[in-house]
Structures are given as structure tokens and as C-alpha cells.
Structure 1
Amino acid sequence: MENNKETYYLIRADILPESIQKTIEAKRLLDRGEAETIQQAVEQVGLSRSAYYKYKDAIHPFNAVMKQKIITVSLNLDHRSGVLSKMLSHIAANRGNVLTINQSIPLQGLANVVLSIETAQMSLTATQLTKELSQIDGVQKVTIIAQENREG
């Protein structure tokens, strides 16, 4: 098959080879924070690091492939250099993808920013993301104003 287009198959979990099942479990442990490092995750499931690295980028939860998740967040930011940049860097570091950004002219030292963020690949839930964003110096308020799932 010399086709650059990815092909996906829906396969019952019980017929998957053990190494793939263990890779899925290791990824789940990492995603949920039950293991802090890949080494910890593979040790917990009894898998070699090489097998994990061989399969990890080709295994995706079914719902992550099928849906595009988008949240819209409203934030009040201090009108200071670097606050917006820190917030956007935090989103990117957690594999969020900013789709739209709208910022008002700062009034009384605060700017309102509205972001639409694709979250399907994020390592955080929307609630976790808003909590972490609100802890960034200069971020005064974070509110989720919309959540939507789109079929992929």
C-alpha cells in the first residue's frame, strides 16, 4: 500500500495483540496522570519502552478520531506584556489548537479575550484547562461559554 492517506479499522479489543493492548493501557495511564513518565507507565503494564514507542503514535481512542471537540472560552486579562503569550503557550503545551482569537481594546487595565480551542488532542479536560489558565499571573477570570462536538 503506497498510499499517503491513513486508513483506519474498527477492531474488537479482545483480538488485538497483547503489545498493542498494553500500549493502549500505558497511554491511558499517562493521559489520566496515573503515571508521570513513559517508563512508569510501561513498567506498570509490563511492556518494553521500544514496543510502546513502536505503536504509540498509531493508536488513538475511537472517539478522538471520530469527533472534533471545540470549546469557546472568555478570559479577562491584565493589560500587561506577556500575559496573552503565556496563556497561548500553556494551551499549546497541552496540545490545544487555537482556532479563533478575538480581543477587545483594554479598558481600565483589563482586556477581554475570546478563544475557540480545538481540544480533541488535549491532555486536559476543559475544566482542568480553565482552572490552570486562571492560575496564570495576569489572568483574572476564565469562563467556558460554549462546548461542541463535531463528527469527524
Structure 2
Amino acid sequence: MKKRTEEKFYLVHEDVLPEAMKKTLEVKTLMEQKGLSVSAATLQADLSRSAFYKYRDMIYPFQAMVKEQIVTIFLTLEDRSGTLSKLLTIIADAGGNVLTIHQTIPLQGLANVTLSISTSAMGKDIVQLISDLKKLEFVHKADIVGSGA
């Protein structure tokens, strides 16, 4: 048996995951939200129980991994009066606690902003918050660049 010396983790886009891993996440959701047994949830998700047991401890939704942690977000914002203030208000309204802010001097009408946010009190998951931020007209880019305890 191969000994694990160091665990490595990767952030992988859902589109490249094998179907069994996607269905494992579906089974976990069914069990958590509907209280289904492993047998009932795997049957509903059309996944074998053996495949579920193979992957269940190896795959988690990203938002589950960053709960009660610090997330670092990188954004590119238009250089307009009040944009940073609006951005911080949206994060605060979501329950995020901004710990650090670093903003570059605007060049060609754009400024880069790096925020460290505590997500422990957030009412929505960080992935949804990033999606909401990307929809703002003054946000050109919004990505999670790191997370940690």
C-alpha cells in the first residue's frame, strides 16, 4: 500500500470532473438536504454505492472548504468615484468581514484591488458572492486567488 506523505489539493472546474464525482456531490446534497439514506440517495442520483464510498471523502464543494476561513479575492475595477465603497457595502451586506484591502493606483481607467475576507458569518457562499460581484458594471474581473484558516 502506498503511503501518503503529503496531501495536495487542487481547485478544478466542474466541467472536467468525471461523472461519478459529480454524482457523489449530488448524493451528498440529497443526504444533507432531504435526509435520504446512502442507498436512497445513490439510487436517486443513479450512482453505485461503491462509487459513492470511493469518492465521498475526496470531493467537496468549494464553498464547504472555505467556510469559516479567510478568502483572498482579486478584482479589477473601473476608476469611478464610489466603486470601492459600493463593493465593500455588497460584501458587508453578504456578511463578509473585510480584513485587508490593497488597491493599486489606477492605470488606463482601471485599478486592481485585493481583498482578504473572513467568510465565517456570510449568509451566502463565496462562489455566489463572486458571481454577484462579476455582474456589477464597474467590475471587470473578480476571482478567488487563495483561502486559508
The one-letter amino acid paired with 2:76 is N
1:106 touches 1:112 (CA, 8 Å); kept in 2? Answer: yes
d(CA) in 2 for partners of 1:120 and 1:130?
Answer: 16
Matches for 1:1-152 after TM superposition, within 5 Å: 68-148=68-148, 150=149
2:68 touches 2:121 (CA, 8 Å); kept in 1? Answer: no
1:83 touches 1:137 (CA, 8 Å); kept in 2? Answer: no
d(CA) in 2 for partners of 1:146 and 1:81?
Answer: 28
- Aligned to 1:89, the other structure's residue is in SS state helix
Deviation at 1:137, TM superposition (A): 2.1
Cα deviation digits, residues 125-149 of structure 1 (max 9, x gap)? 111011001112201100100012x
Deviation at 1:124, TM superposition (A): 1.4
d(CA) in 2 for partners of 1:142 and 1:124?
Answer: 17
Cα deviation digits, residues 62-101 of structure 1 (max 9, x gap)? xxxxx74110000000000111111100000011000000
Normalised to the residue count of structure 2, the TM-score between the two structures is: 0.54
d(CA) in 2 for partners of 1:68 and 1:94?
Answer: 14
Cα deviation digits, residues 105-128 of structure 1 (max 9, x gap)? 000100000000000110111110
Normalised to the residue count of structure 1, the TM-score between the two structures is: 0.53
Can you give the 5+ residue segments of structure 1 that lack an aligned partner in the other structure? 1-31, 33-66
The one-letter amino acid paired with 2:109 is G
The one-letter amino acid paired with 1:140 is H
